[in-house]
Amino acid sequence: MKRIAESTVRRLSVYLRYLEESSGRGLSTLSSDELAKHAGTTSAQVRKDLSFFGSFGKRGLGYSVPELTDSLREILGLARDWSVAIVGAGKIGTALAQDRGFGSRRFHVVAIYDVDPAKIGKPIGPHTVRDFARLESDSARARADIAVLVVPADSAQDAAERLAKAGYLAILNFAPVQLQCPPEVAVRSVNLALELEGLSFELTSRRR
Amino acid sequence: MKRIAESTVRRLSVYLRYLEESSGRGLSTLSSDELAKHAGTTSAQVRKDLSFFGSFGKRGLGYSVPELTDSLREILGLARDWSVAIVGAGKIGTALAQDRGFGSRRFHVVAIYDVDPAKIGKPIGPHTVRDFARLESDSARARADIAVLVVPADSAQDAAERLAKAGYLAILNFAPVQLQCPPEVAVRSVNLALELEGLSFELTSRRR
DNA sequence: CAGTGTGAAGCACTTCACAGCC
DNA sequence: GGCTGTGAAGTGCTTCACACTG
């Protein structure tokens, strides 16, 4: 199968969200044009995106909401649940662990790690902060699928390597560093400083 | 001036970070190749990126660390400070407000808003949660430059419109919705559900 | 006839390759 | 000789436009 662009996958998620909302409002079909409006793209783009994976629509009619919902869930790997471990029990890690919406859908936080003795053992929602030294022994028994890395920049690379060795399949990285990981580990980064600096650039350059 | 791609701006931020680190280690020049290694790109890309804004390097030598640092700060609009208001004092908003690194560099949190009477008046670090109803009157006196929107999905669009009307220049949106804003307001979105679903897709499709 | 599916065209970002300068 | 700056070529995503079908 041809490689799918990351931008395409992002849009599929957005379509899915709108489909779920539409389903809640009792709609049974949706056109590429309606999907496009709510996803901030064009109808041609919607059709192209979906056509990578098959023919889901009916000509003259549009897409069946329940059918396309199921198909997109299948495509995005959301027909199953994923377990998530939060690595780093700082302010943001703690907030993410408790945030509904982050844990919702098919992603379930199953553990929170930290190296700080002052934090280890502390309760966070239904969890207790575990010693990151136990990562390897924990993982031998039961490992989460995805790690959310919320540690300081200078310990992120080490932590990532241990996660990769311990068999984690994916890392969502919040540390402001370019992680070096073996190719079998999927990595995405969210870098808030970068986003703010992007806004700073726009405000500086594009303002009339 | 020709339009600059968002991906280019992202990389400039990454270069700047490495320049600052290198400066701390006493390096005085850096080649496009060294910059590329640490930014995860190619030397040609680095040179192209920089050439949009001028000629900063010396042939045969590379780039002067202090000079390029200054130039990039200037380009990215980081030669000045920016004030930031956090809108939404939930778990994540509160965490961001207190996170060092987020507030660091040239971005300073100056206010935190919420609509929940239970939260209004609560101290968060050096700040006190303010009633979002006061946004307009506050803004008439002194308005922050950038708003960080950390409210539930169903109130995000309303909040964004009020921020735009109140004269905010930019919004960093964490709510999982496609914000509709007037074009003079710069918007960037960070959507954690989308990132997780992107990983889910990779784990499902690309695994051998 | 409304709306999908899709080759072809268009556009934008990246990589190449080399002339030019230090 | 080393490394930048940059047109030209390459690649990949997006938009167009239209044949096709329910």
pLDDT score of A152: 95
CA B60 to C1' C16, in angstroms, rounded, equals: 19
Give the 3-state secondary structure of residue B109. Answer: strand
Confidence class for position B99, pLDDT limits 50, 70, 90: confident
Give residue-wise pLDDT tens across range B12-56. 999 999 999 999 999 999 999 999 999 999 999 999 999 999 999
Alpha-carbon span B45 to B28, nearest angstrom: 21
Give residue-wise pLDDT tens across range B173-208. 999 999 999 999 999 999 999 999 999 999 999 754
Q: What angle do CA A203, A96, A134 make, to 5 degrees?
A: 130
The token duo for B186 is 């710069």
CA B6 to C1' C17, in angstroms, rounded, equals: 26
pLDDT score of A80: 95
Give the 3-state secondary structure of residue A2. Answer: coil
Among candidates A92, A105, A197 on the partner chain, residue whose Cβ is nearest the Cβ of B95: A92
- Find the mean pLDDT for residues B117-137: 97
Alpha-carbon span B109 to B98, nearest angstrom: 9
> Residue B101 above 70 pLDDT?
no
Does B102 contact A192 at a Cβ distance shorter than 8 Å?
yes
Cα B199–chain centre separation = 23
Best of B181, B199, B207 to substitute, by most chain A Cβ atoms within 10 angstroms, is B199
Residue spans of chain A under pLDDT 70: 1, 101-104, 207-208
Alpha-carbon span A19 to A32, nearest angstrom: 11
Residue B174's nearest CA partner among B190, B198, B157 is B190
Give the 3-state secondary structure of residue B105. Answer: coil
